[in-house]
Amino acid sequence: MKPLAAFALAVLVPAAAAASLLVGGTPLSVAQVAGALAHPHRDDTLNVIIWQLRLPRVCIAATVGAALALCGAMLQGMLRNPLADPYLTGVSAGAAAAIAVAMLAGASAAAIPAIGFVAGLGAALLVATLARRGSGIDLNRLILAGVSLSTLFAAIVTLAVVRAQSSNYAGTIVAWLAGSIAGRGWHDLLTTAPYLAAGGFLAVLSIAPLNALRIGDLRARAVGVDVERAQWLILAGSSLLAASSVVLAGLVGFIGLIVPHLARRIVGSNAGALLPACAAIGAALCMLADAVCRSIVAPAELPIGVLLAFIGVPTFLYLYLRPAAAAARTARR
Amino acid sequence: MIELHDVALDVGGHPLLSRVSARIEAGELVVVIGPNGVGKTTLLRALAGVHHAAGGTMRVDGIAIGAMTAFERARRIALVTSDDVLLDALAVRDVVAIGRFPHHRWWQWRSREDDDTAVVRALEAVGMSDFAERLFASLSSGERQRVWIALGLAQETPILLLDEPTSHLDLRVAHEILALLRELASSGKLVVCALHDINEAAAYADRIALLGNKTMLAIEPPESLLNDRRLDSVYGITMERIRIASGGVRIYAKDGRWVSRERRSRAPNG
Q: What does the pLDDT read at residue A1?
A: 65
pLDDT in tens, A41-67: 777 888 888 888 889 999 999 999 999
Residues in chain B whose Cβ is within 8 Å of chain A? 45, 48, 50, 69-71, 73-75, 78-79, 81, 83, 85-90, 94-95, 98-99, 101-102, 104-110, 135, 148, 151, 155
What's the pLDDT score for residue B156? Answer: 96
CB < 8 Å to A218, chain B:
45, 50, 81, 83
Question: Which of chain B's residues have a Cβ under 8 Å away from the Cβ of A226?
Answer: 69-71
Q: Which of A288, A255, A234, A251 is nearest to A65 (CA)?
A: A255
For the stretch A159-188, pLDDT in tens is 888 887 776 677 777 777 777 787 788 988
CA A65 to chain centre: 5
In what order do the strands lie in the sheet containing B63-64?
Answer: B14-24, B2-11, B55-60, B63-64
pLDDT (tens digit per residue) in B38-56: 999 999 999 999 999 999 9
Q: Which of A207, A211, A221 is nearest residue B98 as measured by Cβ atoms?
A: A211
| C-alpha neighbours within 13 Å on the C-beta side of residue A23 | 21
* Number of Cβ pairs < 8 A linking chain A and chain B: 87
pLDDT at A305: 81
Site from B65, B101, B147, B192 to mutate, A interface, most A CB atoms within 10 angstroms: B101
Domain positions in chain B are 2-265
A304 min Cα distance to partner chain B (Å) = 31
- CB contact A211 to B (< 8 Å): yes
User: Cα(A216)–Cα(B36) distance, rounded to whole angstroms?
Assistant: 23
Q: Tell me how far CA of residue B255 lies from CA of B87, B227, B252, in angstroms.
A: 42, 18, 9
Q: For residue B73, list chain A residues with Cβ-Cβ distance below 8 A.
A: 224
Whole-number Å distance between alpha carbons of A89 and A86: 7
* Phi (first) and psi of residue B133, to 5 degrees: -95, -5
CATH of the domain at A35: 1.10.3470.10
Which residues in chain A are contacts of B104 at CB distance < 8 A?
Answer: 208
Chain B residue with CA closest to A211: the answer is: B98
* Cβ–Cβ below 8 Å for A208 and B135: no
Instruction: Indicate if the pLDDT at residue A79 is higher than 60.
Output: yes
Residue A38 vs residues A43, A45, A186, A241: alpha-carbon distances, Å: 13, 15, 19, 31
Is B101 within 8 Å of A218 when comparing Cβ atoms?
no
Domain B2-265: give its CATH code: 3.40.50.300
- In the sheet where B159-163 sits, what is the strand order? B77-80, B159-163, B190-194, B29-33, B207-212, B215-220
What phi and psi, each to the nearest 5 degrees, are found at residue A237?
-60, -45
Q: From residue A292, how far is each of A119, A200, B233 by CA, in Å?
A: 31, 27, 77
Q: If you average pLDDT over residues B102-118, what whole number do you get?
A: 85
Gap from B89 CA to chain A (nearest CA, Å): 6
d(C-alpha B204, C-alpha A332), whole Å:
39
The reply to whether residue A223 touches residue B86, judged by beta carbons under 8 angstroms, is no
Distances (CA, A) of B85 to A213, A219, B15, B82, B174: 11, 10, 27, 10, 22
Contact yes or no for A272 and B109 at CB 8 A: yes
Mean pLDDT (chain B, rounded): 89
What pLDDT, on a 0 to 100 scale, did the predictor assign at position B230?
Answer: 87
Those of residues 243-282 in A touching chain B at CB distance below 8 A are 264, 268-272
Q: Do A214 and B87 touch (CB under 8 A)?
A: yes
The tens digit of pLDDT for each residue in A285-331 reads 999 999 888 887 777 778 888 888 887 778 778 777 765 555 555 54
Q: How far is CA B213 from CA A69, A146, B234, B237, in A?
A: 53, 44, 7, 15
Question: What ranges in B9-140 are assigned the alpha helix state H?
Answer: 40-47, 70-76, 92-97, 113-125
Nearest to B243 by CA among B222, B219, B215, B269: B222
pLDDT at A4 > cutoff 50 = yes
Distance to chain B for A44, nearest Cα, Å: 46
3-state secondary structure B235-260: HCEEEEEEECCCCCEEEEEEEEEECC
Number of domains in chain A: 1
Asked whether the predicted pLDDT for residue A230 surpasses 50, the reply is yes
Mean of per-residue pLDDT scores for chain A: 86
Q: Give pLDDT, residue A59.
A: 95
What residues have CB less than 8 Å from A265, skipping those under 6 apart?
A: A319, A330, A331
B-interface mutation test, from A2, A133, A219, A232, most B Cβ less than 10 A away = A219
Model confidence pLDDT, tens digit, residues A83-131: 888 888 888 889 889 988 988 888 887 788 788 889 999 999 999 999 9
Residue A272: pLDDT over 80: yes
pLDDT of residue A333: 45
B151 and A223: CB-CB below 8 Å?
yes
Q: Which of B76, B85, B135, B156 to mutate to test the interface with A (most CBs of A within 10 A)?
A: B85
Would you tell me which residues 314-333 of chain A have a C-beta closer than 8 angstroms to some C-beta of chain B?
Answer: 331-332
Nearest CA in chain B to A212: B98
pLDDT at A332 over 60: no
Determine the structural domain holding residue A57 and report its residue range.
Answer: 3-332
Q: Inform me whether the C-beta atom of residue A204 falls under 8 Å from chain B C-beta atoms.
A: yes
Q: Closest Cα to residue B7, out of B55, B48, B42?
A: B55
Identify whether the C-beta of residue A236 lies closer than 8 Å to the C-beta of residue A206. Answer: no
Q: How far is CA B25 from CA A112, A306, B41, B62, in A?
A: 65, 65, 20, 12
Range from B64-73, B92-101, B244-253 carrying the lowest mean pLDDT = B244-253
A51 DSSP assignment: I
pLDDT at residue number B270: 39
Q: Does B240 have pLDDT greater than 80?
A: yes
- Taking an 8 Å cut-off on Cβ atoms, the answer to whether A271 and B98 are in contact is no
Q: Do A221 and B98 touch (CB under 8 A)?
A: no
CA atoms within 13 A on the CB side of A62: 19
Show residues of chain A in contact with B151, CB under 8 Å: 215, 219, 223
Asked which of A261-275, A315-329, B103-117 is least confident by mean pLDDT, the reply is: A315-329
* Of A204-213, A297-306, B69-78, B143-152, the least confident: A297-306
CB contact under 8 A, B99 and A223: yes
Q: Which residue of A has its CA nearest to B77?
A: A222
A81 near B CB under 8 A: no
Amino acid identity for residue A313 in this structure: V
- DSSP label of B200: H
Distance between CA atoms of A199 and A189, rounded to whole angstroms?
Answer: 14
Q: Which uninterrupted H or E stretch holds B23?
A: strand B14-24
Nearest to B44 by CA among B159, B141, B126, B145: B159
The span from the CA of B96 to the CA of B139, in Å, is 14
User: Does residue B260 carry a pLDDT above 60?
Assistant: no
Contact indicator for B153, B78 with CB cutoff of 8 Å = yes
Is the CB of A226 less than 8 angstroms away from the CB of B70? yes
Contact list, B82 vs chain A (CB under 8 Å): none
Would the pLDDT of B167 be above 90?
A: no
Q: Which of A130-134, A218-222, A229-233 has the lowest mean pLDDT?
A: A130-134
What residues pair up with B14 in beta bridges, in sequence order? B11
A187 touches chain B (CB under 8 A): no
CB proximity A41 to B under 8 Å: no
Of A221, A271, A332, the CB nearest to B50: A221
